[in-house]
Amino acid sequence: MAPDLLKADIEMVMKILERAFELADKPKNTKERVKVFLTRLDFDREGARIGIEDFVTTLCHLKANVGLGEMDFSNVDFVNGDDSLYENPDPYPSLVDLVLPSDFPKIAGQIRNNLHLEGAKIRRHTSVVSGDILSNLEPETQIGDLIGYNDGTIRFKGEIMDMRPRVKDLCRIFMKNPLKLITIDTIREEIVDQKKRKITPNATISKYVSELHKILGEYFKKKVIFNQRKEGWIFKP
């Protein structure tokens, strides 16, 4: 069974798109599509609590299922969308480039009306990256009630856990190596691009471990990641 796409996610994405459309430069020909370039500022302005992967998944759903077939998007920057581990010369690089139909406000209104009629949840039909139909949801890694699936999600007792992509990658490392020491160098090798490893400080890695520690603690209701005196960390579920 495919996972559920929360109504709240769609409403949040629509809010971001509507704001971006309003601020975008409109072509003289009113029938031409409108180019929109979303940056981290667009997400922060709306107080959005949605990761770039979930944002793109929602875009796929909107394009395939609810009347936004004319919308196109490209140049998805999953790295900078995850609070880049390195200093970018552009403080607000584009995370997603979009082209929206000229009548987007009208379509947005129709989508909102449909959301109101259909209830709290809408079925997710598309995968994050390719947009292909996801016919089989299968577990790839499992530690008790903590399961990583082939659609990229990590769930606890069936509930999709809200994690940034980098933190999700880190979680999978710990899931594959329970009760084993995971060093800071191992984490750097696994989740940081090769070109950026030398300039990524230990403090950045520790920040991601700390974030994951907090998330897992809320679900497990106990401490499950233990610091090993500057050597690394051990996952003890």
Q: How far is Cα 237 from Cα 141, in angstroms, rounded to an integer?
A: 14
The answer to whether the beta carbons of residues 150 and 137 sit under 8 Å apart is yes
Task: Please report whether residue 67 resides in a domain.
Answer: yes
- On whether both 51 and 109 belong to a single domain, the answer is yes
- For residues 109 and 2, the model is more confident at 109
Tell me the angle at which helices 202-220 and 184-191 cross, rounded to the nearest 10 degrees. Answer: 90
Structural domain boundaries enclosing 217: 139-235
Q: How many CB atoms lie within 10 A of CB 54?
A: 23
**Where does a domain end: 123, 154, 170?**
123
Shared domain check, 113 and 19: yes
Q: Who's near 1: CB < 8 A, 6+ residues apart?
A: 137
Least confident of 36-40, 65-69, 100-104, 216-220: 65-69
Same domain (yes/no): 114, 215: no
Instruction: For residue 225, give the H/E element and its range.
Output: strand 225-227
Decide: 102 and 33 in contact? Cβ < 8 Å.
yes
* Shared-domain flag, residues 169 and 199: yes
- Take residue 144 and report the two structure tokens written for it: 């008790």
Query: What is the number of domains present in the chain?
Result: 2
Task: Report yes or no: 206 and 214 within 8 Å, Cβ to Cβ.
Answer: no
Give me the pLDDT at residue 213, please.
Answer: 93
Region 92-98: mean pLDDT is 71
Domain co-membership, 8 together with 99: yes
Mean pLDDT of 80-106: 62
What 3-state DSSP class applies to 133? strand
Phi and psi, residue 202, nearest 5°: -60, -35
